[in-house]
Amino acid sequence: MRGRRFIATLLFASLGAGALLALRLGYVDRLRDRVQGRAPKLAVGDFPAGVTAPVDDVASIPTRPVLIGVVPRGTVAPLIWATGDDAHPGLFRSAYALDVKVVRFESEDALRRALVKGAENGGVDLAALSVSTLGMSAAPLRDAAPRTVMLLGRSRGQDVLGTRSGTLSPAQLAGKRVATEPRSPAHYFTLWVLSRAGLSMRDVTWVPLDSSLEAGAALKAGKADVAAGFVGDVHPMVRELGGSLVSTTADAPHLLATVLVARGEFAARYPDAVRRLIRGALDASAQVVKAPEAAARSLGAFAPELGDPTEAIEAAPPASTRENLAFFGLSGEAPVTYAELYQSAVALSAKLTGPSAVPTAEETADLGALKYVSATQRP
């Protein structure tokens, strides 16, 4: 009798331990998901971005610095210059009473993730992204509810495709190893070059880079036959190795447009901060075009790997108010508009990786602040 009780007790204890182990290892949840179906995963993007905006109508700005994330390129020079430093307050602080900090990122992927996190969680409030990146990363950026608020500038020769040795035409890229950062502007530019030569994704061997700033090093190390990146990084290495440039964005000056993108929550909560940012950025851009020396020094200290900072700004000049209005279809005409660039990037992403539910171009653009600033600017 005692033996039976002992065996029963041991059996129940084993069953209990087994159930506890199965629970901890997730087997119970998996079984429940099979029977009842997987529980929907809630995300911040399931709710409107403006639900945390103030109830009253008083526009406000953050009591902390506004964080703008960038991957270094010529188009962000006005932002860097206007931010200033502790010794020399920049235009944002001196003229618009707005404390701004530009945060450097080495890769587009890190910048995208920072925008999704938000400044309160170790990320940023706004980011300088290419429209192609925004369109091809629309699904991963969903929780940020991105709102494009202005055009910063276009690449007109800053992004290049260079060979390790010899001279190649776009058609001769077939069979070559091509190094580029996935979903970056350089990657998008490379796809454009392939399309012009009638080549497909499978006609080349892709060598993924962690950052577009590694393109020159990839060529030097022999990891790739061709690399896409910034002219200041790639071109010197191409000359050293005896290679050549296959193509640059000077061949397609309207392909890569860098825009300032705000988190939806930030844009809804701090509309006055967005207006001050746009006004300051446009003023800074106008001053950089007239006298680029100070901005070039700021860019050179911020990103020396871009090469000559003056040439970097010339290869990706800042956009004016007039260019902004035309780009977003508010007035005037542009060869390529924001909506066209965004929609084509979304369509290309669906073609390469499969369709997904993404917002339309109109849903990603918040042009109220740009309209206000342009209307109140002095002629």
Domains of the chain plus CATH, in order, are 46-156+255-376 (3.40.190.10), 159-251 (3.40.190.10)
Over residues 192-246, the pLDDT tens digits come to 999 999 999 999 999 999 999 999 999 999 999 999 999 999 999 999 999 999 9
pLDDT band at 18 (very low <50, low <70, confident <90, very high): low
pLDDT of residue 1: 59
Q: Using CA atoms, how far apart are residues 334 and 298, in angstroms rounded to an integer?
A: 30
**Where do we find the tokens 């890190």?**
110
Residue 158 pLDDT > 90, yes or no?
A: yes
pLDDT of residue 146: 95
Interhelix angle 368-376/271-290, rounded to 10 degrees, is: 50
> Across residues 83-108, what is the average pLDDT?
92
In this structure, are residues 172 and 203 in contact, taking their beta carbons and an 8 Å threshold?
Answer: no
Q: Using CA atoms, how far apart are residues 201 and 174, in angstroms rounded to an integer?
A: 10
pLDDT of residue 96: 93
Q: Taking Cα atoms as reference points, which of 119, 125, 97, 70 lies closest to residue 80? A: 70
Q: Which residues pair with 226 in a beta bridge?
A: 163, 178
Over residues 269-320, the pLDDT tens digits come to 999 999 999 999 999 999 999 999 999 999 999 999 899 999 999 999 999 9
The phi and psi torsions of 94 (rounded to 5 degrees) equal -75, -35
Residue type, 19: A
Q: How far is CA 377 from CA 104, 176, 257, 372, in A?
A: 30, 51, 23, 9
pLDDT of residue 366: 93
Q: What is the mean pLDDT of the chain?
A: 89
Please state the pTM of the whole predicted model.
0.86
pLDDT of residue 60: 80
pLDDT of residue 59: 59
pLDDT of residue 378: 59
Radius of gyration of the chain from Cα atoms? 25
Q: How far is CA 277 from CA 230, 262, 326, 332, in A?
A: 27, 11, 20, 23
Q: Taking Cα atoms as reference points, which of 183, 190, 76 lies closest to residue 140? A: 183
In this structure, are residues 205 and 218 in contact, taking their beta carbons and an 8 Å threshold?
Answer: no
pLDDT of residue 12: 66
The terminus-to-terminus CA distance of the chain in angstroms comes to 102
Over residues 164-183, the pLDDT tens digits come to 999 999 999 999 999 999 98
pLDDT of residue 136: 93
Whole-number percent of the chain with pLDDT over 70 = 85
Q: Using CA atoms, how far apart are residues 322 and 328, in angstroms rounded to an integer?
A: 10
Length of the chain: 379
